Amino acid sequence: MTPETASPPTPAASTPTPVRADERIASIDALRGFALLGILAINIMVFGAAQWEPSLTGEAAGLNVTVWAVQLVMIEGTMRCLFSMLYGAGVILLTARIERRAGGEEAADVYFRRNLWLLVFGVVHSYLLVYLGDILFFYGFVALVLFPFRKLSPRTLLILGSLILAVGVISPTRFYFAYQETKAAVTAAEAAEEAGRAITEEQKEARKRWERWQRRDPEGRQERIDAFRSGYGTIFQFVIPEQVEAHSRGMYQTWFCDAAGMMLLGMAFYRLGIFSGRRSSRFYLLLGGTGYALGLALRGYMTCQALAHHFDLLWRVIPWFTEGVGRLAVALGHLSVMMLLCQLGRPRWLLASLAAVGRMALTNYLGHTVIASFVFFGFGFGLYGRLEFYELFYVVFAIWIFQLIVSPLWLRSFRFGPAEWLWRSLTYWRWQPMRSGRRPTS
């Protein structure tokens, strides 16, 4: 147990209050900012209708494939991994701080109120802001489950986290077998057609299913494109059934294990002092080197296979089996680079900007949705499905630069980002002071 949690709560219980700016750990903020910007490089594929495939928007050649491959090896999953781990670390940070000041019961109250509001934010983000890739709902729910795990030893946390990530492989395994079966039926149908025989009803259905899964069924894709190029009302109606599935079946089969496993690992890493840059440079060099070597080799191989098999669906599932290790390894590489930069303290402007982005992570995350919706959806510029794969990253760079500039400027005048301010005000059920320089009332 770390000293924070071992110390008894102060008997003269004061009311719990939001963290003061001087209490924040800069390296964690910078890492969070980094991960948050990284997440946009993935989510842009949802906004831009690219759906993890270079062939849907533009040709699967040249720059499109290069960008796709780099993105798949270096970014995919790693930013979500870092973000989940940081959320796990945040669980300990928040509860330990309030337990110290006001006691265990108060800490739990703040914790659960906070995560229930996050759940509500997730619902708003998913339905009202029509974003088809929200993580807030999952984080809010998973955090409710993980509360009693926060005081476990790093060893136990690492074991449990790995175990949950292993359970997460069950679902892709089922998909794998379903895909394999369907693909066999499709192949059989092709053979039958070539031989001039009629294909069965089942084979027809298998073919339809296969096309849908490949996201190549032209009708379904056109329907989606038409919907997102229309007005808000149409898009809203279009996303409802998909959000219901994502929040329920998606959570059960995929996202719970994905988030819970990484959060538990994050708690362990926080306990081990890895996020706060307290480890030696040697440690980070070693960690990063091993992580990159292992992760890039594994994911590089998978990506080459996917290319060699022309983005075959089976090769989109197979990487899921090793992703627990693969994305974690690359994420640890990113983490080490960030920690080394934080230890160096350079480039100063970038670290300071990233920390500012990280301090208003929720605002910036929702900001991605608001900005990208106006760029891509019908009620804005309607570029949905119109940009080639590599062109999507122009939008990404523009948003990055915007947020890297605006976030530090905002925090010069205000204590919190607007969404953070709302979240905290709701959690503590009292308006929090917004202007910087003033202490919250307690």
Reading the block at residue 15, the tokens are: 């009311």
Name the minimum Å distance from CB 95 to another protein: 9
Cβ 113 to another protein, closest distance in Å?
5
DSSP character string of 117-157: HHHHHHHIIIIIT--TT--HHHHHHHHHHHGGGTTS-HHHH
Secondary structure element (H or E) that encloses residue 105, with its range? helix 104-123
Place of tokens 């490089």: 41
Residue 210, helix vs strand vs coil: helix
Q: How far is the CB of 188 from another protein (least distance, A)?
A: 22
Nearest CB to another protein, comparing residues 144 and 419: 144
- Angle among Cα 387, 390, 395 to the nearest 5 degrees reads 65
Distances (CA, A) of 232 to 120, 228, 382, 442: 21, 8, 11, 42
Q: Which of 53, 62, 61, 69 is nearest to 304 (CA)?
A: 69
Shortest gap between Cβ of 367 and another protein (angstroms)? 28
Smallest distance, Å, CB 86 to another protein?
A: 22
- Smallest gap, in angstroms, from Cβ of residue 158 to another protein? 15
Residue 4 or 391: the one with the smaller Cβ distance to another protein is 4
State the residues that interact with another protein by CB under 8 A. 6-9, 11, 99, 103-105, 107-109, 112-113, 116, 141, 144-145, 147-149, 151-152, 244-245, 247-249, 251-253
Tokens 């903020």 appear where?
29
Q: What is the SS3 assignment for 62?
A: coil
What does the longest C-alpha to C-alpha distance in the chain come to? 86
| Closer of 252 and 402 to another protein (Cβ) | 252
Q: Are 255 and 290 in contact (CB under 8 A)?
A: no
Orientation angle between helical segments 348-359 and 392-413, nearest 10 degrees: 80
Burial code (b: 16+ CB inside 10 Å, e: under 16) for 18-28 equals beeeeeebbbb
AA identity, residue 73 = V
Backbone angles phi, psi at 81, to 5 degrees: -60, -50
Shortest Å distance, C-beta 45 to another protein: 25
Structure tokens at 370: 């608001």
User: Is 414 strand, coil or helix?
Assistant: strand
Minimum distance from CB of 104 to another protein (Å)?
3
